[in-house]
Structure 1
Amino acid sequence: MAVPVDALATIRDRVGEAAVILGTAGAVVSGLAGWGVSCAVFLVVSVVGEPFMPRRGDIVERLLRVGQLGSSVRVALRFSAVMALVLNQGDASTLASLVLIGYVLFALMAAVTGIAMHRVRYRRNLPVETRNIDTSSLLIPDPPSRLIRGKINENFFVPMLLVLVPACIASDTIWPTVTGGAIAFVLACLPLTLALLADRRTAGLLDNDAVLDVVRDFLAEHEPEVLLYFADSSPSIYQVNMWLSTIERLERRAMIVMRSRRALVKIGATSLPVLCVPSTVNLISLDFAAARAALYVGNNGPNLHLLRLPHLKSAFIGHGDSDKNASVNPYAKVYDELWTAGPAGRDRWRLADVGIDDADIVEVGRPQLHHLAMHDADGGPIPTLLYAPTWEGWNLTQEYGSVAFQGLALVRAVLDSPVPVRLIYKPHPLTGRRDPRVRDVHQQIIALIDADNHARGLTNRPTYEPPDIDALHAFADAAQRTRHSGEPGYQLSAIEAQTRTVAAQKAYLASLDPQAHLVAEGPGPDLFAYFGAADFLVTDISSVLSDFQVTDKPYAVCNTTTNTEKQFIENVPAAAAGIVIGPDGERLDEVIAVASRVAADTYVDARQHMRTYLLGDRRVPAQQRFADAVDALVARAGERAAKHSDPPGGPV
């Protein structure tokens, strides 16, 4: 069986840490004891281990840094070990002086290289990063050589050994050390020269004003009418990605405005122009005068930086439609309109009584779900139950996840079903992040599924091969990605990327053994792909429940509260069209009976009504309803613009 990539990376990190720590310690001890060969061997081991040391975030690396044993200190310890060894040999003042001179030279060269590379990185960290915008006038140069992109000290490890090892082994003469030092000096000049050339090449090219001028010229020429605004961090980038194809289908000029560099790295393929403006000052300096509508996917404080523009009409479009209490955040009062999928969302706001006017709510359907039809698959020989629970939430008031409540009982019921039922377990990516108890149960569920597959000899699982839809991932830095993404035809559209992704996901699911249970974690098909593969869904209070309505397939909802089933349905109307699994596993037998096709599905008519209630009238395609809502919002902004003359940039 192949070793997982993550496991190999962990082994590599641990071996690197052991080599560095033990090698450095061994070199110091050997130097103090006067053991020349031993000192040389330990030096080589410690230096060879350095490139395999994990980057920031690893606990051992963090402890070394906190203990003032970072890379530079370790270099000093290695030279000190050799100095101690040389001085132990008696009259070796000349050799000791050479070693000391070598250390000073290497330290100075590393310092100059580091300063030059810091300046290069600072300049290439553009004040505004873009996608699909022509930045050729900036003359963005190629990134520095790979040789000098990593930790600066790594460039001097081999030259360092050319000085230290001869001094250890041939401490009775200076010539091996002199020869090695000369070669080392020449080698060390290479990264220094490359860094200085890179520093000179970027000087004066990527200044703040030049980049902002290019963006201003683009805004003046392109005149975007619709802005999709995202002010959250990279883990929440899915909130933008789910809307990309929908926004691309609009007949109006649209663009994405973001605030996080790390989030930009993870944005999906799109043909839309994208601006990433981390600085509030820079954002305020840009003129969005042509824009009329701003769409917000999340409730974040920095939303204010765009909401402040009076000529823009705002709409909160969210990133899912569910009965979670976060769906009725009072913050939403800052927007001109709140867009929801169907009547259920309107009722949700009314019942929450948080000051939202019913006239400001617009039903637009769920246009992101149009591609679910592409995932439709013929049922396999064994019915498939998809268990897609949510996570435990940031606090107890948002604890909707069923993993720690009904999770184990459900999985055991499926595995022990007298009529075979295939299980796909698709946990939320954040499962167990807040509550260790949930994490433990999650691991138990995975162990049960793996054990069942192993007992039946179903252990061979193909590897998911995602389509190559990101042409920018191979580039070294933000400046290079900005440059290349502006070249014509370089980026795939979200629509084309979606088509390729669906094809790859369907091929992967078709390659799986239809009898094997599946834990759908890590890289692999998205949730919508598993909707197509499933015959029955078990889920929690989340947008998964609302989105699944479009499949017209049966489902069950986990009640993790102390409420009765009737009370639960009153709070979670979507549960009325499915089986409600009680806190102690009540009605699990009914779930298995329907999922295994032993019992009839009695909720067909109820689901038809629920689909309309949750997702809106299906007679008008959701994409058209969304586009109509955008047009209406733009028209409202146009009416205001005809009455008022706002200063450029809006109020500060």
Structure 2
Amino acid sequence: MEFFGRRSSAGPDAAHRLLDTPGGPAPEGYTPGEPVDGEVAVHFADDPRKLYQLKQWLPVFELLDERHHVVVVLRDPATLAELSALTPLRCVLAPAVPDLIDLYEISDFKVAVYVNNSGHNFESLTQRRIQHVHVNHGESDKVCMVSNQVKAYDRVFVAGPNAVARHRAALMSFDHDKLVPVGRPQLDLRPAPLLAPTDRRTVLYAPTWEGENASNNYTSVDVFGPEIVAAALAVPDVRVVYKPHPRVPLSPLPSMVDSHDAIVRLVEDAARRDPDAGHQVRADGDILAVFPGCDLIVTDVSSVGLDFLYLRPEQPMFIADRREDRARLLAEAPIAAAADIVDSTTLAALTATITDRLAADARRADRRAARRGYFGDLGPGESTARFLDAVTETAELRDRELALLAEARTSTPGRSA
């Protein structure tokens, strides 16, 4: 097959590379100028602070690799060093833009996958012989889940009906045919449980971080966090687990640092006073591996709450509202209608409310309906199957489109192959 636009390069243009990143890191994991064997390129440009966005996809990409050879294309040397120890997938470093362009031009990737909204993704989107697919790194009602950037991708894989509605409500002049509902493949995985069995009821507090800007700030840590944990610890016969977003402990904001430290102290002090309770802080580990041991979750507007909804729909949920705007919360986050809300008006009664919900759950039917809204009626394994099939179909579409372009080039008057 003829690949239009392919250069017969013997290697990257050293002069242009020097102009782009003088003194910058060199490519790793492949020989510049030689093709890299692979059908799917997972492009990830960010430093290790955002690696959690890619880590959750690794088991799914490893399954995809059995059908379509996957190569993870990284742009940051520290990310390469950390990721290489986490996955058997081939990882390559193309740090400069000329490195990336040459890698794509000399290789034959059919699909490129993107797990975030990094501005560096647009450097990868310059490649015209690839179908570009945005998958994001979770399903949530955060404002960042619908970026105008999705217009640049050929396809946008989303979880289900609510995600489709979210894009329709937020974007102008967007081709909604790009949206491909595939569920959430990560939720088909069943990692080994991290929490030891206990006779106590387990209350999980799993807040999100503060986001990149005010509009994307949904964390309860700095407004209600210590009070939430103190209220949970006051419930009789419970184990309290604090599992913050990976970026909460790294926050540069004094209010976040102080509140996070206060929460850790509360949990650790309670654990010392009652060693048999099992109270604990889980800063590391897969959040999905924490869920099996939990009877109730207190969380924020985030993917964690919706993952819990999918995996543990029989267990009560509490959603914190840092903005204390109940009408806005219900309008923007449908899950809130199936959960108890934590804000300044409900905080004083939180211990009693958690105690009541553990004893008698009155919102189970509401959560089942909410689960269908976010994920449809997918059963175990169906999200993964949909995702794999959607990637295959996209790769086949790429080949058909490329053949049509080659045919158009040869049939255009005045043009030659």
Distance of 2:365 and 2:197 partners within structure 1: 22
Shift of 1:373: 6.5
Cα distance in 2, alignment partners of residues 306 and 404 from structure 1? 37
What letter corresponds to residue 144 of structure 2 in structure 1? A
**In the alignment, does 2:10 pair up with 1:248?**
no
Q: What residue in structure 2 maps to residue 317 of structure 1?
A: 135
Shift of the 581–126 alpha-carbon distance from structure 1 to 2, 3 Å rule, reads: closer
Q: 1:305-358 CA distances to partner (integer Å, 9 max, x unpaired)?
A: 321121211111111111111111112211111111111111111111243322
Alpha-carbon distance in structure 1 between the residues aligned to 2:77 and 2:198: 43
Work out the CA distance in 1 between the residues paired with 2:208 and 2:237: 25
SS in 2 for 1:423: strand
Q: Deviations over 1:53-108 (max 9, x none)?
A: xxxxxxxxxxxxxxxxxxxxxxxxxxxxxxxxxxxxxxxxxxxxxxxxxxxxxxxx
Other-structure match for 2:4: none
Task: Encode CA deviations 1:192-237: one digit per residue, 9 max, x unaligned.
Answer: xxxxxxxxxxxxxxxxxxx314xx15x2xx3x22111111112112
Distance 2:281 2:225 in 1: 13
Answer yes or no: is 1:545 the counterpart of 2:305. yes
Asked if 1:236 corresponds to 2:50, the answer is yes
Alignment of 1:570-581 (within 5 A): 570-581=331-342
Name the SS of the counterpart of 1:404 in structure 2. coil
TM-superposition CA deviations, 1:494-526 (whole Å, max 9, x none)? xxxxxxxxxxxxxxxxxxx4x1311223xx432
Aligned to 1:623: 384
Residue aligned with 1:447, SS? helix
Q: 1:301 to 1:437 in 2, by over 3 A?
A: closer
Q: Which structure exhibits the higher relative contact order, with contacts defined as CA atoms closer than 8 Å and separated by 6 or more residues?
A: 2
**C-alpha distance in structure 2 between counterparts of 1:378 and 1:269, whole Å:** 24
In the alignment, which residue of structure 1 is the partner of 2:102? 285
Quote the residue 2:414 is aligned against.
none
Task: Tell me the distance in 1 between the aligned counterparts of 2:177 and 2:319.
Answer: 31
Query: Secondary structure in 1 aligned to 2:229?
Result: helix
* Identity across matched positions, percent: 30
Between Structure 1 and Structure 2, the one with more helix by share is 1
**Cα distance in 2 between the residues matched to 1:538 and 1:628:** 35
Quote the Cα distance in structure 2 between the aligned partners of 1:408 and 1:127.
Answer: 46
Distance 1:311 1:338 in 2: 18
Residues 275 and 397 of structure 1: CA distance in aligned 2, closer, same or farther (over 3 Å):
same
Give the Å deviation of 1:395: 2.5
Give unmatched runs, 5+ long, in structure 1: 1-124, 134-210, 459-512, 648-652
Q: State the alpha-carbon separation in 2 of the partners of residues 408 and 285 from structure 1.
A: 51
Match of 2:90 among 246, 253, 273: 273
Pairs within 5 Å for 1:510-521: 513=276, 515-521=277-283
Can you list the C-alpha shifts for 1:160-217, whole angstroms capped at 9, x where unaligned? xxxxxxxxxxxxxxxxxxxxxxxxxxxxxxxxxxxxxxxxxxxxxxxxxxx314xx15
The answer to whether the 8 Å contact 1:232/1:298 transfers is no
Q: Show the 5 A alignment for 1:122-133.
A: 127-130=26-29
Paired residue for 2:41? 227
Written as runs of structure 1 = structure 2, the 5 A alignment for 1:270-419 is: 270-286=87-103, 287=105, 289-372=107-190, 374-375=192-193, 380-417=198-235, 419=236
- How many residue pairs get aligned? The number is 376
Superposition map of 1:127-146 within 5 A: 127-130=26-29
> Aligned partners of 1:225, 1:613: CA distance in 2, in Å?
33
The answer to whether 1:592 aligns with 2:354 is yes
Give runs of aligned pairs for residues 149-164 of structure 1, distance below 5 A: none
Q: Indicate if the aligned counterparts of 1:400 and 1:540 stay in contact, CA closer than 8 A.
A: yes
Distance 1:403 1:527 in 2: 17
Task: Return the alpha-carbon distance in structure 2 between the equivalents of residues 241 and 516 of structure 1.
Answer: 28
Q: Secondary structure at the match of 1:252?
A: coil
Q: Secondary structure at the match of 1:301?
A: coil
When the two chains are superposed, the root-mean-square deviation of aligned CA atoms in Å is 2.4
Contact kept? 1:405, 1:560, Cα under 8 Å: yes
Give a deviation string over 1:576-624, Cα, whole Å, max 9, x none.
22212223435624542245x33x1112222222222222331461110
TM-score by length of 1: 0.54
Distance 1:234 1:450 in 2: 28
Give the match for residue 72 of structure 1: none
SS at match of 1:640: helix
When Rg is computed on C-alpha atoms for both structures, the one with the higher figure is 1
Alignment correspondent of 1:260: 76
Distance 1:408 1:426 in 2: 13
**C-alpha contact (below 8 Å) 2:191/2:289 kept by paired residues:** no
Runs of 4+ in 1 over 4 A off after TM superposition: 376-379
- How far apart are 1:635 and its partner, in Å? 2.2
- Going by fraction, where is strand more abundant, 1 or 2? 2
Question: 1:212 maps to what in 2?
Answer: 32
Match of 2:5 in 1: none
**CA–CA distance in structure 1, aligned partners of residues 114 and 90 of structure 2:** 17
| Superposed CA offset, 1:414-450 (max 9, x none) | 2222x22111111223327243123222222222222
In structure 2, do the counterparts of structure 1 residues 629 and 594 end up closer, same or farther at CA, with 3 Å as the change threshold? farther
Normalising by structure 2, report the TM-score: 0.83
For the 8 Å contact 2:324–2:343, the answer to whether it is kept is no
1:495-574 correspondence runs (5 A): 513=276, 515-521=277-283, 524-549=284-309, 550-552=311-313, 553-564=315-326, 566-574=327-335
Task: Go from structure 1 to structure 2 and tell me whether the alpha carbon gap of 1:590 and 1:238 turns closer, same or farther (over 3 Å shift).
Answer: same
Partners in 1 of 2:112 and 2:385 — Cα distance? 18
* Aligned pair partner of 1:602 in 362, 367, 392: 362
Tell whether the 8 Å contact from 1:227 to 1:254 is kept in structure 2 after alignment.
yes
Q: Residues 279 and 609 (structure 1 numbering): CA distance in 2 closer, same or farther, change over 3 Å? A: same
Distance 2:127 2:53 in 1: 23
